[in-house]
Homo-oligomer: A and B are copies of this chain.
Amino acid sequence: MTTTVVAGNPKPGSRTLDAANRLAESLTGSAPDHIVDVIELGPGLLGWGDAKVKAAVETVASSDLVVFASPTFKATYTGVLKLFLDQFATGDGLRDVTAVPLMLGAGPAHAMAPDLLLKPVLVELGAVCPLPGLYLIDSTYTEDTRISDYTERWRSALPVKGSGS
């Protein structure tokens, strides 16, 4: 199984990326195979056909499990993450990918954003999203038990490798 983490924070090497890595490792038992720190793809994100961007899209599209992570900006995911998602084909860009929406915020008020706002974009790209979105508080996620609680509650809803699609 190939696992990839996508983090859409305008700051490279962010807590968003760290939290996504932790979630991927918690769900699968090992570190992700690939990491896409979207902002490092640079200005090619603003157009179409950039080689680095295309390679990142292909890495994601050929993964089995992808954690899509964003900080909460203006009560939803970032423009940086959406720029990257805009590069995928509608309906098929994430075909056969199991996608997990993850968002981090400073407080609890935006806890509905992963399921109401981020997940529908992943569904539109053809991903399978069997798990609820996860929302973490950015100042406490390294100490609280939200990630392990989520894994315990939801891991069984991930497709069993070799049995499904």
**Chain A residues packing against B (C-beta within 8 Å):** 10, 39, 42-43, 45-48, 73-86, 88, 90, 107-113, 115-117, 119-121, 123-125, 128-132, 156-157, 159-160, 163-165
Number of copies: 4
Q: What's the Cα separation between A107 and B109 when bound, in Å?
A: 9
- Alpha-carbon distance between A164 and B41 when the two chains are bound, in angstroms: 37
Query: Could you say which of B79, B120, B128, B156 contacts A79, with CB atoms under 8 Å apart?
Result: B79
- Asked if A123 and B115 sit within 8 Å, CB to CB, the answer is yes
Are A74 and B46 neighbours in the complex by a CB distance under 8 Å?
A: no
Q: Which residues of B contact A78 (CB under 8 A)?
A: 82, 86
A-B contact pairs, 25 of them (CB 8 A): A42-B46, A46-B80, A74-B85, A76-B120, A76-B121, A77-B82, A79-B79, A79-B84, A82-B82, A108-B111, A109-B109, A110-B111, A110-B112, A111-B112, A112-B113, A112-B116, A116-B120, A117-B117, A129-B130, A156-B164, A157-B164, A157-B165, A159-B159, A160-B160, A160-B163
